[in-house]
């Protein structure tokens, strides 16, 4: 039987005071929609329809740029007339999957998880339900719809404002997540009416309609206490970030990861960390980042969509879309821009920037150096202040530095240029032609000394200063 997903992501979120769809607001560096999509993929649901609305093109652009394991389509909800109305826009998608089950999720409720999705589906199919509601038990259910249970399932959901005093005491709440038998949902979806104060079509009305038709309705209580949580404003969004941050740190603590201090630490939902690794304060790990075993991730590192090998030591490093192999030491104050590949045992010192380059095994880039669009071999040594001059104002070119080369301090390598195996450049040289293997390249202008030049310049500067600020008193 085919199972599929509809994600409701058409909300504007006016109280967020943003020009983007609410579902694209971030929790730990990832849009809330991404959290929901990841949960679906982890639950092996790969046929998804996203209902977009406010600034829908932004949703479209995000999905187009996303590396997805799932097949994702979109439909437009031109008017935001409630959850039921949103699902109606996906009628063609439902009809194409009429033989299976459909999961309805909110794109701005980021904490849905694969275990809950799978558990609810198991209950749904085992009991042959027309609808199964995912629920949560909370200490303070204020504002949430209450689940009315019966001996054989549920009889419906009562919104908070409509609850009797006895129903207000119920702590089992609706998460806004539902499994429907798709054919049953189609049978009642267009029968719901906007007969409420908001004049909206409520998806929850489908439950009562299905029960009236003799279909079974039940509820699955998620073990995840945060499954129902969403945010309507920036304060609420910050609360979601705090919850996610501590939950993820807690998960890695349980896995044996050492945290020296959690101040400023933020770890994304898709990050993996190997055993024996130590995380210091201010570390931000985002996107599809993988940290190997026995690493030391020092203060204030930002690592995004990057693979880090085993035994790596990073200190004040920013790395984006790069690869760092085993036993590399980098920092402090180093930036790895996209498509950088640092091979085993390399050392990158302070104030170094590397972009779209490969740094070979055991190569040392000590400090104050820029390497862009370059292919560097193994056991190369860079002196202080080296620059690969990769851009002529129109096009970018590559530099090749072969094994065992020695690049002297303040060398400019003007690409395209090749430094041969074991070749040396003298300090202060600007290299514009290829250097043969084992050669020494020296390129320095002739030194010229003009006696008295500085004295004249100093006198002119002093006179100008005194004209503006007045003559300094002698001490």
**Residues tagged in the binding site annotation for Mg(2+):** 108, 232
- Count CA within 13 A, CB hemisphere, residue 340: 25
Q: What spatial distance separates the first Cα and last Cα of the chain, rounded to whole Å?
A: 94
Using alpha carbons only, what angle is made at residue 199 by residues 195 and 202, rounded to the nearest 5 degrees?
Answer: 70
Q: Is 286 helix (H, G, I), strand (E, B) or coil?
A: strand
Going by the annotation, the residues of the binding site for acetyl-CoA are: 390-391, 427, 444
Cis peptide before 4 (omega within 30 of 0): no
Q: Which residue is associated with the tokens 């620059």?
A: 387
Best CA proximity match to 411, nearest among 355, 369, 360, 364 = 369
Tell me the two tokens of residue 385. 């202040």
By residue count, the chain amounts to 475
Cβ burial of 272 (10 Å; 0-12, 13-18, 19+) is middle
**β-pair type (313-314, 329-330):** parallel
Q: Determine the Cα–Cα distance for residues 235 and 31; give it in Å rounded to an integer.
A: 16
Answer yes or no: 367 catalytic: yes
Active-site residue, selected from the candidate residues 97, 226, 367, 469: 367
Best CA proximity match to 184, nearest among 216, 141, 156 = 216
Q: Determine the Cα–Cα distance for residues 1 and 189; give it in Å rounded to an integer.
A: 21
Question: From the CA atom positions of the chain, what is the Rg in Å?
Answer: 31
Cis peptide before 332 (omega within 30 of 0): yes
**Sequential DSSP letters for 210-224:** HHHTT--EEEEE-S-
Indicate which residues carry an active-site annotation: 367
């Amino acid at each position: 039987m085919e199972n599929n997903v509809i994600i409701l992501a058409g909300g504007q979120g006016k109280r967020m005071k943003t020009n983007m769809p609410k579902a694209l607001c971030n929790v730990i560096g990832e849009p809330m929609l991404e959290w929901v999509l990841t949960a679906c993929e982890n639950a092996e649901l790969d046929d998804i329809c996203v209902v977009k609305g406010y600034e829908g093109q932004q949703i479209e652009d995000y999905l187009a740029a996303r590396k997805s394991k799932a097949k994702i389509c979109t439909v437009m909800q031109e008017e935001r007339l409630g959850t039921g109305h949103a699902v109606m826009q996906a009628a063609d998608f439902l009809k194409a999957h009429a033989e299976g089950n459909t999961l309805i999720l909110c794109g701005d409720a980021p904490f849905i998880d694969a275990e809950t999705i799978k558990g609810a589906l198991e209950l749904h199919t085992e009991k042959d339900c027309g609808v199964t509601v995912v629920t949560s038990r909370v200490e303070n259910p204020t504002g949430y719809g209450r689940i009315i249970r019966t001996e054989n399932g549920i009889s419906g959901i009562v919104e908070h404002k409509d609850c009797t005093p006895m129903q207000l005491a119920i702590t089992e709440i609706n998460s806004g997540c539902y499994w429907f038998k798709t054919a049953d949902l189609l049978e009642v979806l267009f029968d719901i009416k906007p007969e409420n104060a908001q004049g909206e079509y409520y998806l929850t009305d489908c439950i009562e309609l299905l029960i009236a038709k003799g279909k079974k309705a039940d509820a699955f209580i998620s073990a995840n206490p945060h499954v129902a949580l969403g945010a309507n404003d920036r304060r609420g969004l910050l609360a979601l970030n705090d919850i996610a941050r501590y939950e993820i740190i807690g998960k890695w603590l349980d896995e044996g990861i050492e945290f020296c201090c959690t101040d400023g630490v933020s770890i994304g939902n898709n990050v993996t960390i190997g055993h024996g690794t130590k995380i210091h304060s201010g570390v931000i790990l985002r996107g599809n980042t993988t940290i190997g075993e026995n690493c030391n991730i020092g203060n204030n590192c930002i690592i995004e969509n990057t693979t880090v090998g085993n035994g790596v030591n990073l200190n004040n490093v920013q790395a984006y879309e790069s690869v760092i192999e085993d036993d590399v030491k980098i920092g402090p104050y180093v930036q790895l821009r996209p498509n950088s590949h640092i091979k085993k045992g390399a050392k990158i010192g302070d104030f170094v920037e590397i972009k779209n380059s490969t740094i070979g095994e055991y190569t040392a880039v000590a400090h104050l150096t820029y390497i862009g669009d370059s292919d560097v071999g193994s056991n190369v040594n860079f002196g202080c202040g080296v620059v690969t001059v990769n851009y002529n104002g129109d096009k970018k070119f590559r530099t090749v530095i072969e094994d065992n080369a020695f690049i002297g301090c303040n060398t400019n390598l003007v690409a395209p240029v090749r430094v041969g195996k074991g070749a040396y450049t003298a300090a202060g040289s600007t290299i514009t032609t290829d250097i043969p293997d084992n050669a020494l390249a020296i390129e320095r202008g002739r030194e010229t000394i003009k006696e008295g030049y500085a004295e004249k310049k100093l006198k002119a500067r002093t006179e100008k200063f005194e004209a503006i600020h007045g003559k300094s008193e002698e001490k």
